[in-house]
Amino acid sequence: MQEFPPLFRSLIILIAQASFNAVIAPGAIGLLRWFNARLQHRRGADIFQPYRDLYKLTFRRQSSIFEPTSGIFWIAPPAILACYFLLGGLLPSLFLTDLPGAPAPWRGLDLLFVIYLLGLAKFIAGLAAFDAATPFGNISNGRQFFLHLLVEPVFLATVYALALKGHTSNLDRFIADQQQLSVISVFANPVMILVLLSLGTISLAENGRLPFDKPGTHLELTMIEPGTSLEFNGRGLALIEWANAMKLTFFVSLLSDLLFPWSLATKSFSATLLPGMLVYLVKLVAVIFLVALWEITRAKLRLRAVSGALMAALGVAFIALVYVIMTDYL
């Protein structure tokens, strides 16, 4: 692999990583649902159910599009999918792309880029909902943007704390530095714990998990995240569902990367890749189990009360920030 020009190598890494994430994403959702069901003493569908759903939507259902819509409506699902596909490829889940001294055409994932890419996906979803000329999609979109509005400052403050801690806002570089540390100094660091707390809250809010939204709900008047895809059907819906699965996988991998930064392959396609992949899957399952545990103990918050939870996350991010400044800079 090393003899390839850096541009191609990076492209191959990106596409390999993105495809891997795209393939396992529905499985991750299925696993989360299965865990949830088991924890509630239900039998639950097996983890392959989301794959069957996607297959059914794509091949067994005819798509229909509302008459007033323009091209935006059917461009939206692939565009949203592209955003999350790209995020999945850029996040260091199998490889670290920022090799010290390597002339990589890109040097890992910038966390600010993540914030903007997540926003772009929501922006496109909002346009599509207006394009459908019906109220349902936009009821949820208004809520989605309300959440986005509360999440974005928290996310920025968290990234600021991380940047002050690691002297970079680049996730790959940050993780490469973390890998040099011992287990104790990663886990026993209050900053990392606080940052993980606020990032965890952000992840729950972004993915519409409890307590922000009830993922399995069928009531249009309360839903946030599932409501944005109400107007889509057939292939479009399949793409959006798949994109949402990728979003969940992205956040779970982000959390697991920060929790456990070791075991990522630093050289592409070397012998460490296979064990790295296994460790990654184990991390993923562990974090998903934690999410399921969290979810069975929570009830959904009132819509207007979510600001309190996110302000609490903002407070946590602020404390992390102040702690970093006090310990590292004074």
Partner 1 sequence: MTDNIWASWIVWLFWIECAIFGLGSTAGPFLPPVARALGLDENRAKNWAMRLALALAFFGGLMTVGASGWYLATFAGRGEDCNCKIATTIWSGIDIVGISTFPRFALTLYVDALSALFGLLIGFFTACVAWYSFSWLDRNPRRHSVAGAFGLFAFSTLLVVLVNNGFWLLLVLELMSLSFGYLVLYRGQQGGMQEESKTAIRTYLIVSHVSTICLAIAILIIGNNPRSPSLDFELFRQYRDSLPPLSRDVAFVFALIGLGMRAGMTPFHFWVPVAHPQSPTTTHAFSLGVAIKVAIYLMIRFFFEFLSPISWWWGALLLVLAGLTAVLNVFYALLSRDLKRALAYHSVENIGIILVGLGLALLFGSERFGGDVTVRSVAGVALIASLFHVINHAIFKGLLYLGTGCIENRTHTVIMDELGGLIRRYPWTSVMFLVGAIAIAGFPPFNGFISEWLTLQSFFAGIDVYRARDLTPVLMLVLPVTLIMLGLAFALTALAFVKIAGETLLGLPRNPKIVAGFKPGDAPVSMRFVLFVLAALCLVLGLFPSLLIPWLAAAVNGIGYDTRALRADLFDLTIAIQKSSGESIYLTSLAMLPIGMLVVGPVATILAAFVWRRFRPARSSPVWVGGEPYQPQTMQYTGSALSALVWETFQKHAAARRFEEPLPTVFALAEGRYVMEQINRGYNAGIAMVLRASTWVGEHLQNGDIRMYLLYIFGAFITVLLVLAVAR
Site for partner 1 in 73-112 (CB under 8 A): 74-75, 78-79, 81-83, 85-86, 89-90, 105-108, 110, 112
Q: Which is nearer to partner 1, 173 or 283 (CB)?
A: 173
Phi, psi at residue 201, to the nearest 5°?
Answer: -60, -45
Interface mask (CB under 8 A) for partner 1, residues 210-249, using x and -?
------------------------xx--------------
**Which residues share a beta bridge with 170?**
110
Contacts of 127 (CB under 8 A, 6+ apart): 72, 76
Q: Which is nearer to partner 1, 170 or 253 (CB)?
A: 170
Q: Which is nearer to partner 1, 120 or 279 (CB)?
A: 120
Q: Which is nearer to partner 1, 39 or 75 (CB)?
A: 75
- Residue found under tokens 């696993």: 31
The answer to whether the CB of 242 falls within 8 A of the CB of 81 is: yes
Question: What is the radius of gyration, based on Cα positions, of the chain?
Answer: 20
Q: Which one of 12, 37, 99, 117 is in contact with partner 1 (CB under 8 A)?
A: 117
The answer to whether the CB of 324 falls within 8 A of the CB of 161 is: yes
Does position 189 interact with partner 1 (CB under 8 A)? The reply is no
- Stretch of residues binding partner 1 (CB under 8 A), selected from 205-213, 249-257, 272-280, 302-310: 302-310
Q: Which is nearer to partner 1, 49 or 222 (CB)?
A: 222
The answer to whether the CB of 270 falls within 8 A of the CB of 82 is: no
Does position 177 interact with partner 1 (CB under 8 A)? The reply is no
Q: Which has the closest alpha carbon to 225: 248, 196, 254, 197? A: 248
